[in-house]
Amino acid sequence: MDQNRPVSWGLFVFFLLFSPARTEDQSVIQALVVFMDKLVPGSMQTTPNWGWNTSSDPCTSKWVGITCDKDNLTVKKIVLEKLNLSGILDFESVCKVSNLLVLSVSFNNVTGNLQQEVSNCKRLTHLYLTGNRFSGNLPDSITDLPNVNRVVISNNGFTGQLPDFTRLTTLLTFFAQNNQFTGPLPRFNYRQLDGFNVANNDLSGPIPDDTGRFDASSFVGNPQLCGKELAVQCPVKKKDKKSHFRDILIYSGYVVLGCIILVLVAILACKKRKKQHEDVKTRSPKKNGSDSGHSSGSKNSRVRSEFSTTSVESGGVSSSMVVLSSPVVNGLRFEDLLRAPAELIGRGKHGSLYKVKPDNGVPVVVKRIRDWKISRDEFKKRLQKIVDIKHPNVLPVVAYYSSKQEKLLVYEFQQNGSLFRLLHVSQNGQMFSWGSRLSLASSIAGALAFMHHELQADLIPHGNVKSSNILLTDNMEPCLSEYGLMPIDHQDPDPNNNNRTAATFKDDVHAFGLVLLELLTGKPIQDNGTGLANWVSSILKEEWTIEVFDKALIIEGASEERMVVLLQVALKCINNSTPPPMAEVAAIISSLKEEEERSTTSSDP
């Protein structure tokens, strides 16, 4: 036995060195072979290194059309385009590849129906079937794919009605042109789509897209389809006589009810005015008309607006508005704000925002904060500290007013709006390039870092960093507004705690990280940003980083390398456990900006 032992060890070593390594399970390999057999590859099986057999491994043997993860452990993509495949697509087999992200059999001759088992590919993000001979209905189960981003089924023979795609919250592209779909066009989440086309089918009825993001080219070739994007406008339905008579009765009831409410309101108003008049008579002899601020009585009641429920503090001393040195509000008085018409332009958790244009004055913005449990003196000290710190990218307060019930802050009105509006509402034909976005991010990061440093001892963060609070000046320079107007909810009372300062400013860093995600993805923040952050994380997990970025940036040809670096900065910021300080974030983005500028300069002719 001792003489045979070296031979046995030699065979064992030979087996380890030269036998094909296995990464995928044998059951998965068998399923892939069955999947390919049903596609009928024909003469393609004679292609060198074709693979697709049970004696080799799809990753280590590099089967044709297979892409695995970076460690060659599992199949991620199957791309079998222009291979003259002529069989059927077996989802029951291919979906046994549990980590499959991309499946494409475009530009072949694949036939048959799309199977209900397509929903078994739970991690699938991209499905490309264009340019084949598929037929039959599109199964409803396709809307059960929880991670799908792209569905391209154009240039086939699909029939029947399209399923309801509103459940697909991750869908970004849907191309189904040049098929034979019938029936009404279902609803999609049009606001999140960056590509959509159902042209040249037999769809009917109105186009449910109310966003106007897609023009007629996405819907043409459907003679019975109507909508504002098409030459065929949807007819206005005429109501029959019965429904018309019913509407008259309903509206008449509303009118009668409205009249009753108006009468009741008038009675209550008369009683209230009478009571106020009696109160004025009672108080007037005691005060002898010597109030230093606002006069009391009916005259003062007439000039009050929605900004203030009261201007009198306890003890009968009137609060006045403090006007800081600024040519914008030179000579402005609190009464001018009360008399001027106010336009509500924003409402948030902590207060409301109004645009006001006093008589013979320039328009200003008034921030109204209610029910902040802070004394007038504390508020004045806090605001004075903020006012004393000046930075070109922080919008200065030009006046303020404080009472028990509310605080008013006055800013100069910025007619170019906010970053939120520029990104998500209307750009007025203005291109928001990668360089502009990077420059804006650098300016705001620098402003936050500066304010954090200057107000570190006072523990005054911004408290409400978001794209709607980043305004654009006449020169399109970004300005951070409403600095320090939010109470600190989790301030540590122990002044000896060294982590106190970091914890106080951490929320600003997190919020700025979300702003960076908005700039990179072009998507708005909802649900405190958790939805967008989770979406970005899911895309990165599947190693499709390019899908994260705003399509406009990709079309522009922005530097993917620098976008990835900025994305990494954003993800570090939203890491609640150990976010970097704002100064570090500002330094990285400033370096990125300088690198971008050098690159742009060197590429100019």
| Residue 116: Cβ within 10 Å count | 14
Which backbone phi and psi does 407 adopt, to 5 degrees?
A: -125, 140
Distance CA 39, CA 80 (A): 10
* Residue among 400, 411, 398, 389 nearest 325 (CA): 398
Could you give the angle at which helices 434-454 and 560-573 cross, rounded to 10 degrees? 30
Cα dihedral sign for 301, 304, 306, 310? negative
Residue given tokens 């089924």 in the structure block: 153
Cα Rg of the chain (Å, integer): 33
Distance CA 560, CA 572 (A): 18
CA dihedral 519, 524, 530, 536 (to 10 degrees): -50
Distance CA 121, CA 96 (A): 8
H or E element: which one contains 437?
helix 434-454
Distance CA 549, CA 520 (A): 5
- 85 burial (CB, 10 Å; 0-12 / 13-18 / 19+) is buried
Here the tokens at position 277 are 């008049």
Q: Is 367 annotated as a binding residue?
A: yes
Tell me which DSSP letter residue 312 carries: B
Reduced to 3 states, what is the DSSP secondary structure of residue 409?
A: strand
Here the tokens at position 212 are 């106007």
- Strands in 80-149 per DSSP E: 102-104, 111-112, 126-128, 133-136
* Residue among 373, 470, 459 nearest 423 (CA): 470
Reduced to 3 states, what is the DSSP secondary structure of residue 346?
A: strand
With beta carbons less than 8 A apart as the criterion, state whether 573 and 585 touch.
yes
With beta carbons less than 8 A apart as the criterion, state whether 128 and 152 touch.
yes
- 298 burial (CB, 10 Å; 0-12 / 13-18 / 19+) is exposed
User: What residues contact residue 498 under an 8 Å CB cut-off, 6+ apart?
Assistant: none
* Binding residue positions for ATP: 367
